[in-house]
A and B are shown apart, each in its own frame.
Chain A
Amino acid sequence: MAAVAGLSAPSRTTGTTGRLSDLLWRHPRLLLGLLLGPPLAWLGVVYLGSLAVFLSQSIFAIDDFSGLITYEPTLATYRQLFSDANLDIIVRTLSMAAVVTLASIVVAFPIAYYAARYARGGWKALFYLGVMLPLWSSYLVKIYAWKLILAKEGIVTWAFERLHLGWLLDAWLALPVIGGNSLSVSYTGTFLVFVYVWLPFMILPIQAALERVPGSLVEASADLGADPRQTFRHVLLPLALPGIVAGSIFTFSLTLGDYIIPQIIGSSRLFIGQAVYAQQGTAGNIPLAAAFTVVPIVIMAVYLWAARRMGAFNAL
């Protein structure tokens, strides 16, 4: 006791930092402002500002003769957006996004389900890394890998021939629309790469949703006489649905905005992203590029609104 009492009287923090600390303590709003100021200046002013300025150009139009933007509000650009050729692009992109999303769900579900319900300890970590590594691996390298795989002289052709199934691959490539000269210049190729690149974005939310389903629910369902198929259909699937919806937000949105994958693996027909790229670049039609950009934003806004109604956010 005596030893503790023998300490010198505490000296209090003084000086500039002490006074500044007092000031911030007395005015928590000031502290909040100082914390939020820099990030808000960056994101709210620089980023949102650029976004707003760019998108607002869609209400202007290019003058056909000079090629310059006429700064008068007009719906001409939007009329151009809904021309047949451009509508084709929008429909093509939307169909691809839908098919990619569906396929991702089918491939992702077993992985997520096994990881959430059966994998334990080291296996669980392995599964987690097994999804995280491809997720974070270089996007371009992943596309490049598929260029190697789908090339006419690549591993897929080789594998089909080894299995004496070369005729099957040829028959597939001979199909209209989804076929082509080789897989790497067909919609089938584009589709495969999209599914591959976005798959982790589907697995993770489904797994997160399934992790929250208590095992006792599955046991209770079995106890009440449901066979595994019924349990899956009536218990697991509804509970995993928010995860599926959340995952589909990623796969859908990412497919809508991508312009590199269809450019490298696919036919020469454009997707929205490529159209935006072409309009702002070679065509120099910034208003039309902006109008094209509005399409995925509107679609995703509707999608998010619907997802919210379904409770996909409450679950995450």
Chain B
Amino acid sequence: MTAAVLFQSVSRHFGAVRAVDGVDLSIAEGEFFAMLGPSGSGKTTCLRLIAGFEQPTSGHIEIFGETAEGVPPYRRNVNTVFQDYALFPHLSILDNVAYGLMVKGVGKAERRRAAEEALAMVALPGYGARKPGQLSGGQRQRVALARALVNRPRVLLLDEPLGALDLKLREQMQEELKTLQKTLGLTFVFVTHDQGEALSMADRVAVFHDGKVRQVGTPEEIYRRPRSRFVADFVGSSNILSPALCAALGLGAGTASLRPEQISLGPATGDRIGLTGRAVSASFLGPVNRLTADCGGERIVAALPAGVALPAPGAEVTLSFDRSALHLMEDA
């Protein structure tokens, strides 16, 4: 099957800055694909390369099997939801949504009908006569979404679309976006620096760092088997076990990641591995509590369910975890 978006060793350099550096990607049709990374990691530039706002310095991009280099943004069947929404301030909401149809020469009555339906789809029926300035951030975000979707793009690009919303609204929109994507069966490419957002929404995640893709996989793969220390650190929090400890545990050469919630308090039983040490600090966080312990020079953080009594700092503790929770990483 043809990939919806294909990157073949794509680079985009701005002078000496390698914003995107030899990226290979294949995004399948109908996939909810997240590009995750800290700011400046190249994820937004990749999005702009798909939209056509940037041209690759080298490499090759295909959108549904067609070469994308040299094709202007207005000739790509791809639409974007911008980070700042970029609603046209001089146009009404209805005209904003109908804009794409208008410039393509769709008749007035038809584009009006389509725009109204798109607004209804994002739960803003009857808002068409207002101006963008009269809407709240969340409403503007929905208008931006309707404005892109009304063109029936084959790929929808979303550039940190939820970044400007408050927490509650963000969670609600995550839900809605996910549902919308499944109903429409569209390919979504979603840029975010929020790992929680990426893990909860995406079918697959690409983790970006320094212009390179560090790992691509399902959220579960990324979380359970981070391939590098950067991924382990950036996606969730992780204990990194030193090569010495890995060797002692018989894991082989390298470092290993161990998720805090995989660790329980108390001696090892069966196949589990036990570590003894001294509690350094304990903090109460609500549903889970965090215990930091010093086990022979290794600082280990464990996330313990509420209800487990936390040891006092300085007390001797034994931590245990399943061998399968350890994941050996590629880099040191």
Residues of A within 8 A of B (CB): 1, 3-5, 7-13, 21-22, 25-26
Taking the closest CB of chain B, its distance from the CB of A100, in whole angstroms, is 45
A4 touches B100 (CB 8 A): no
CA distance A28 to B304 in the complex (A): 58
B114 interface neighbour in A3, A9, A11, Cβ under 8 Å: A3
Q: A1 with B121: in contact, given A7-B152, A10-B77, A22-B72 (CB under 8 Å)?
A: yes
A residues within 8 A CB of B184?
1, 5
Q: A11 with B72: in contact, given A4-B121, A4-B149, A4-B150 (CB under 8 Å)?
A: no
Q: A1 with B151: in contact, given A7-B101, A13-B74, A13-B103 (CB under 8 Å)?
A: no
CA distance A8 to B101 in the complex (A): 10
B75 within 8 A of A: yes
> What bracket does the count of chain B residues touching chain A fall in?
20 to 34
Taking the closest CB of chain B, its distance from the CB of A44, in whole angstroms, is 29
**Which residues of chain B from 82 to 134 have any CB-CB distance to chain A below 8 Å in the complex?**
100-101, 103-106, 110, 113-114, 117-118, 121
> Closest residue of chain B to A6, judged by CB?
B114
B72 touches A1 (CB 8 A): no
Total residue contacts A-B, CB cutoff 8 A: 46
> Closest residue of chain B to A22, judged by CB?
B72
A-B CB proximity, top 5 nearest:
A3-B117, A25-B72, A10-B104, A11-B104, A7-B114
B residues within 8 A CB of A11?
104-105
A21 touches B72 (CB 8 A): yes
Give 6 A-B contacts (CB < 8 Å), ordered by A residue. Answer: A1-B184, A4-B118, A5-B184, A11-B105, A12-B75, A13-B75
B136 within 8 A of A: no
> Closest residue of chain B to A9, judged by CB?
B152
Taking the closest CB of chain A, its distance from the CB of B63, in whole angstroms, is 14
CA distance A122 to B106 in the complex (A): 47
Taking the closest CB of chain B, its distance from the CB of A247, in whole angstroms, is 35
B183 within 8 A of A: yes
Q: A10 with B117: in contact, given A22-B72, A25-B72 (CB under 8 Å)?
A: no
Taking the closest CB of chain A, its distance from the CB of B94, in whole angstroms, is 15
B307 within 8 A of A: no
B70 within 8 A of A: yes
Taking the closest CB of chain A, its distance from the CB of B121, in whole angstroms, is 6
> Closest residue of chain A to B52, judged by CB?
A25
B residues within 8 A CB of A12?
74-75, 104
A10 interface neighbour in B113, B118, B151, Cβ under 8 Å: B151
Taking the closest CB of chain B, its distance from the CB of A116, in whole angstroms, is 29
**Which residues of chain B from 177 to 229 have any CB-CB distance to chain A below 8 Å in the complex?**
183-184
B106 touches A7 (CB 8 A): yes
> Closest residue of chain A to B73, judged by CB?
A25
B183 touches A4 (CB 8 A): no
A8 touches B106 (CB 8 A): yes
A residues within 8 A CB of B104?
10-13
